[in-house]
Structure 1
């Protein structure tokens, strides 16, 4: 399928890099930091207990469901207070966590594909997570980054998609959103009026009959191939 697009928005976790290895790593790094600097907290809240505390914070603060960073900080403050450590250490503990959170191992095709896409159309990131493009090292490819924390509402709400389109500024139907998550990315973008591209690296089956992605690929490189082909056809037609 070929159709004109003027910009692309991209999901981050599990679209540009796998998140599972990061999620496992950050918990260990944070616990090691606490063991060194806040031993009472590390003793009372080993990894599993800290995870359970954070989940309780999610329940207590539904108003922060879109802000993983703030929930993490509040969880650290609560843990330190309960354990008897100085909660003023929470910011430094979060920084240790956040530094590791932004150490990513890209999918093999990601970096080359990003460069190819950015050479064709402007790119933006739309994410419910808290990765930082500058820390990750790919900020130069993007016109901007819009997170659920900054917007105040996560995907799949239409508002975050519309806010990104307005910042380009292009109409929603002129923007292609690319992501791995069926509901958050593809269905959310479709209902917001954007074109949608499903990056299905794991061979999942599409579950909906009433909504389908405009494009479906197994890698970001295939999307770059499609965009190159589309732009070539547009140049020939012109």
Structure 2
């Protein structure tokens, strides 16, 4: 059971916790493809099929394991490899990636996300913990967070306990005083529990819980958490 009295700060996942990630990535990939059609048409044609794109991703995973925690670098270098294989200028990769990255930051928040962030940020210091490459400043949510911890900058990702400890350290707290909120049962919930945090599972789609160890709290939306704190007040 969740112990509200212990909570001095809250850490949050981003993708699929504050906004749905699939439509965001699909939109960004379409923007990238449209840019490629105009600036690198051979690459756009050669790598327009899902199987070709999957082969590029598999190649990057096998040959650049050093980039596994940096999704931006994986995406940029995948574009560079595609340009090279299509016989076009690999130097276009930087500009192409920026087209994708800018579109990737244009997210559509879940309806409960912004009111919840506003409520929680008035009561607790908030920190993000993400394996992705969202930029909360560019997304427009930077004002709500005291710190942001990303796998890309930290060097390891969830569920490694070290990234959760880094988030606690950024707030000058210990992990046992932090509630972590996220949608991924393994990366967010088990990862944060193993790091000593309390964990809230955001289950927006009525999934079955897949592990023996249980979250301290299960939510269908972030409004439910705010209502818990309001009831305590």
TM superposition score category, shorter chain reference: over 0.9
Tell me which residue corresponds to 2:91.
88
Tell me which residue corresponds to 1:216.
218
Is the 1:190–1:196 Cα contact (8 Å) retained in structure 2? Answer: yes
Tell me which residue corresponds to 1:131.
134
Q: Which aligned pairs between 1:51-90 and structure 2 lie closer than 5 A?
A: 51-90=54-93
Tell me which residue corresponds to 1:235.
none
SS of aligned partner of 2:210: coil
SS of aligned partner of 2:4: coil
Partners of 1:117 and 1:41 in 2: CA distance: 46
Partners of 1:24 and 1:185 in 2: CA distance: 24
Note the C-alpha offset of 1:68.
0.6
**Over the residues paired in the alignment, what is the CA RMSD in angstroms?**
1.2
Tell me which residue corresponds to 1:158.
161
Tell me which residue corresponds to 1:195.
198
Corresponding position: 1:226 with 2:197: no
| Structure 2 runs not aligned, ≥5 long | none
Question: Which one of the candidate residues 155, 158, 171 is aligned to 2:174?
Answer: 171
SS of aligned partner of 1:85: coil
SS of aligned partner of 1:228: helix
Q: Which aligned pairs between 1:20-39 and structure 2 lie closer than 5 A?
A: 20-39=22-41
Is the 1:165–1:171 Cα contact (8 Å) retained in structure 2? Answer: yes
Is the 1:23–1:101 Cα contact (8 Å) retained in structure 2? Answer: yes
Partners of 1:47 and 1:107 in 2: CA distance: 30
Is the 1:66–1:149 Cα contact (8 Å) retained in structure 2? Answer: yes
Is the 1:117–1:227 Cα contact (8 Å) retained in structure 2? Answer: no
Tell me which residue corresponds to 1:236.
none
TM-score after normalising by structure 2: 0.95
Note the C-alpha offset of 1:47.
4.6
Residues 146 and 139 (structure 1), Cα distance of their counterparts in 2 relative to 1, 3 Å cut: same
| Structure 1 runs not aligned, ≥5 long | 233-238
Note the C-alpha offset of 1:227.
2.3
Corresponding position: 1:43 with 2:39: no
Is the 1:31–1:47 Cα contact (8 Å) retained in structure 2? Answer: no
SS of aligned partner of 1:173: helix
Q: Which runs of 4+ in 1 moved over 4 A?
A: none
Equivalent residue pairs, number: 230
Partners of 2:47 and 2:110 in 1: CA distance: 33
Tell me which residue corresponds to 1:3.
4
Of 172-181 and 36-45, deviating more is 36-45
Tell me which residue corresponds to 1:121.
124
TM-score after normalising by structure 1: 0.93
Partners of 2:9 and 2:225 in 1: CA distance: 13
